[in-house]
Structure 1
Amino acid sequence: MVFSRVGTWDLPVPYRIHLHLAVSFLIEEAMAIADTIEAPTRLEGKYGAILVCWILGFGSFVPWNSMLTIEDYYSWEFPPRRYHPARVLTVVYQLFALGTMAILAYNESKIDTRKRILIGYIIFFIDALVQGGLVGDLSFMCPEFIQTFLAGLAASGALTSALRLITKAVFEKSSNGLRKGVMLFLAISTFFEFLCIFLYAFIFPKLPIVKYYRAKAASEGSKTVSSDLAAAGIQTEAASQEVEADDKQQQQRLSSKQLFFQNIDFALVLFFIFVLTLSIFPGFLFENTKSHHQLGSWYALVLVAMYNVWDSISRYIPLVERLKLKSRKGLLFATISRVLFIPAFYFTAKYGGLGWMIMLISFLGLTNGYLTVCVLTEAPKGYKGPEQNALGNLLVLCVLGGVVAGASLDWLWLIGSNEQF
């Protein structure tokens, strides 16, 4: 009754304070209810997005794994004693990928991620264009997305190895069978590339949860998601107006240099993981172990398959929080301790049996996949969308740097061996 006759500002001060608090409380409650209503809509399509991320990861590594798993064909066409195809192809391909990735990482904020990824799938140049773009893109979404994408990368190795073993067995006794098996294998691999193009172009950007995270990144100043938002039917003009209204927030974004030095331990971990792995895999397996076992050209394929299987399995281990290594010092120590693989492989190849070599290569794959996922899912935490995208590109650059360095060091295995330059 007092309110019906008296204006709000005519009330005594204590009443006004209580009224203000009550109104504020009701507004906050209403906003909380609105958020709970919107949240399920935003998160719709999460499991569909996880499946698409796995397939995109699978397709991202198909060209690279296809090249690795037909090394037996290269060795038949180009004798290792003279040409060293397992080593030459790895260094040349990854060196070119590293140079391209360095340019893309430097200009990541100006490059349209959608066009970059689609071009990469179309021309089969995956390492620099697709992996860097997708790791950056997924870094500002759910951690499960990037974990699943990385699991798909490893699964492509396991499945392409299995497929290569099947095609080799089917055509082994036919005339020109090795070439026929390789052609069928590459045709199947090409199918997966076209599947990835379709999924990324027409399905992934329209999933509600993906649209939510990309719109959120755009509101934080990201310019790399404009084409993806347009493909999803979101007005990019509205997004750009939000960005212009938030210029101060954009200016506070950390530079790539600052991000690198804040995460230099993560960068070194990824670099050394792949330096060690590529110094053994695949060149050492194809050219330094053949003479010690009776499987002939099947031996290296079996070892590659075992590496890929355990690399794939290990990328699911961090899904269990208790088994996930989050400590920066712990990750660095685990990575440095992998240097023990070098003498272990040397003595196993020289004196050990088949079982020991399979166990060793399995453990190499296990540690490679596990440590990679731990780093790439932990590093982006605590940053804004544009910073997470930039950091993802920088970390992939470190991966490719490690791959090139490892593939180059792989030539040192030829010193003192029967295989000469």
Structure 2
Amino acid sequence: MGEDGEVPVKLEGKMRAIAVCWFLGLGSLVSWNSMLTIGDYYYHIFQNYHPSRVLTLVYQPFAVGTMAILTYNESKINTRKRNLAGYTFFFLATFALLLLDLGSSGKGGVGNFIGVCFIVGFFGVADAHVQGGMVGDLSFMSPDFIQSFLAGLAASGALTSALRLITKAVFENSHNGLRKGVMLFLAISTLLEFLCIFLYAFVFPKFPIVKYYRQKAASQGSMTVSADLAAAGIQTELEQMPQSRLSNRTIFIQNIDYAIDLFLIYVLTLSIFPGFLYENTGQHRLGSWYVLVLIATYNVWDLISRFIPSIKWLKMESRKGLTYAILSRFLLVPAFYFTAKYGDEGWMIALVSFLGLTNGYLTVCVLTAAPKGYTGPEQNALGNILVLCLLGGIFSGVALDWLWLIGSTQKF
């Protein structure tokens, strides 16, 4: 508070901006989480194609390849156009998924499966635009913004799981109920993506605290914020501003432990979730609800854990401590193997809960600790680099997920 009792300009609108960041995080993954959550439907119509594993594997090359290009050129890219393009791609792809199913009347076949794969590749391109763009943009703002955005990412999983359980329960006993639930589900996801386009284009740039951070970044030589400042009614003259900054290579080397940490977090998580849970956990008393419960359990704990670092004494900031904690998670691989082979539902649900808990907590700790001690343009570059490593970890984890099929009764 200032001496006159008024909130300083740079703090005005902080809580509203945090709320919008949460919703923008939700929109960054709600489409993809919709794909994961309706996996039971795709296993019903594409029984022989390993849809959960194949679609996840299709998604990642597009996400990682696009992200690599965008990271290399991040200092020259208009962040406003990048993020709006990403949310628009998500909106169009989710709507296309709905139209494809309507047009094919919910039929399977290799042609329709290829169509779904094509749309999933488009999701990957959108993901690279939004996640890298948003994390880079928020990295030179308040750490609370990044944490809220990351919580929104996890909330997308929890929300889609909740909606899927509700639609399954409502339509389970009706004719063609599984498909009806999926149609409603995709329609809601499409609406959420449209709302994200509106929020980022017309609401987020207008908050005083957001203007403050973007003006500060511009004064430090950032060329990525000019369009967002213009949308907020602020003109900048970048040619008169300092342009010196560390190279991306130097920034990466200085933060290589954080980069490896994020890579390893998602290698482990995606080697188990979702393919192993859909295909390698066997048949249990919960029947067709079992996998949906496991997915929902993971998503809920992933969401809860992303708020834990907001309690200062629970936040891990030691660089070595983070690395040791992340490496210890690999003990979950034999734990899941023996639980799937010998354990019951309770043990599997407990393991999935721990997987989600550690995934969300460690992700937030790394991404909120890393962007310190740099100028705005350098923080934006580091945010993009870390997201690239995160997506690389996801890609590697998805590939390793196929190893669970070795020695099983299922065909590759």
TM beyond 0.5 = yes
| Corresponding position: 1:103 with 2:82 | no
Aligned to 2:249: 257
Aligned to 2:20: 52
Whole-Å separation in 2 of the counterparts to 1:183 and 1:85: 18
Normalising to structure 2: TM-score of the pair?
0.90
Offset at residue 153 of structure 1 (A): 0.6
**Conserved in 2, the CA contact under 8 Å of 1:58 and 1:154?**
yes
Aligned to 2:45: 77
Aligned to 2:343: 352
Correspondence 1:230-241 to 2 at 5 A: 230-235=230-235, 239-240=236-237
Whole-Å separation in 2 of the counterparts to 1:133 and 1:290: 40
Whole-Å separation in 2 of the counterparts to 1:207 and 1:174: 47
Whole-Å separation in 2 of the counterparts to 1:96 and 1:294: 38
Whole-Å separation in 1 of the counterparts to 2:7 and 2:249: 35
| Corresponding position: 1:289 with 2:281 | yes
Residue from 374, 380, 394 that aligns with 2:371: 380
Correspondence 1:91-130 to 2 at 5 A: 91-124=57-90, 125=123, 126-130=126-130
Correspondence 1:22-421 to 2 at 5 A: 40-79=8-47, 82-124=48-90, 125=123, 126-235=126-235, 239-240=236-237, 243-247=238-242, 250-251=243-244, 253-291=245-283, 293-421=284-412
Offset at residue 38 of structure 1 (A): 8.7
**Conserved in 2, the CA contact under 8 Å of 1:290 and 1:296?**
no
Offset at residue 311 of structure 1 (A): 0.3
Q: Secondary structure at the match of 2:63?
A: helix
Aligned to 1:7: none
Q: Percent identity?
A: 73
Offset at residue 37 of structure 1 (A): 8.6
Offset at residue 62 of structure 1 (A): 0.3
Offset at residue 157 of structure 1 (A): 0.5
Whole-Å separation in 2 of the counterparts to 1:137 and 1:339: 32
Whole-Å separation in 1 of the counterparts to 2:339 and 2:404: 14
Aligned to 1:16: none
Whole-Å separation in 2 of the counterparts to 1:92 and 1:179: 23
Return the letter of the residue paired with 1:213. Answer: Y
Q: Secondary structure at the match of 1:123?
A: helix
Whole-Å separation in 2 of the counterparts to 1:324 and 1:261: 24
**Conserved in 1, the CA contact under 8 Å of 2:302 and 2:358?**
yes
Whole-Å separation in 1 of the counterparts to 2:287 and 2:411: 20
Whole-Å separation in 2 of the counterparts to 1:39 and 1:221: 27
Offset at residue 136 of structure 1 (A): 0.3
**Conserved in 1, the CA contact under 8 Å of 2:9 and 2:208?**
yes
**Conserved in 2, the CA contact under 8 Å of 1:290 and 1:300?**
no
Offset at residue 146 of structure 1 (A): 0.3
Aligned to 1:6: none
Offset at residue 39 of structure 1 (A): 6.2
Q: Secondary structure at the match of 1:83?
A: coil
**Conserved in 2, the CA contact under 8 Å of 1:311 and 1:365?**
yes
Which structure: larger Rg?
1
Query: Which structure 1 residue ranges, 5 or more long, are not aligned?
Result: 1-32
Whole-Å separation in 1 of the counterparts to 2:7 and 2:131: 29
Offset at residue 244 of structure 1 (A): 3.1
Offset at residue 345 of structure 1 (A): 0.2
**Conserved in 1, the CA contact under 8 Å of 2:282 and 2:340?**
no
Q: Secondary structure at the match of 1:254?
A: coil
**Conserved in 2, the CA contact under 8 Å of 1:290 and 1:299?**
no
Whole-Å separation in 1 of the counterparts to 2:45 and 2:282: 17
Whole-Å separation in 2 of the counterparts to 1:348 and 1:311: 21
Aligned Cα root-mean-square deviation (Å): 1.5
Per-residue CA deviations over 1:167-223 (Å, capped at 9, x if unaligned) read 111111111111111010000111111111111100000000000000000000000
Whole-Å separation in 2 of the counterparts to 1:377 and 1:154: 16
Return the letter of the residue paired with 1:336. Answer: L
Return the letter of the residue paired with 1:45. Answer: G
Q: Secondary structure at the match of 1:303?
A: helix
Q: How many residues align?
A: 378
Offset at residue 296 of structure 1 (A): 2.2
Whole-Å separation in 2 of the counterparts to 1:355 and 1:398: 33
Normalising to structure 1: TM-score of the pair?
0.88
Whole-Å separation in 2 of the counterparts to 1:311 and 1:53: 17
Whole-Å separation in 2 of the counterparts to 1:246 and 1:100: 30
User: Structure 1 residues 116-125 or 379-388, which shifts more?
Assistant: 116-125
Offset at residue 308 of structure 1 (A): 0.3
Whole-Å separation in 2 of the counterparts to 1:138 and 1:163: 29
Whole-Å separation in 1 of the counterparts to 2:367 and 2:282: 35
Whole-Å separation in 2 of the counterparts to 1:173 and 1:180: 11
User: Structure 1 residues 170-179 or 362-371, which shifts more?
Assistant: 170-179
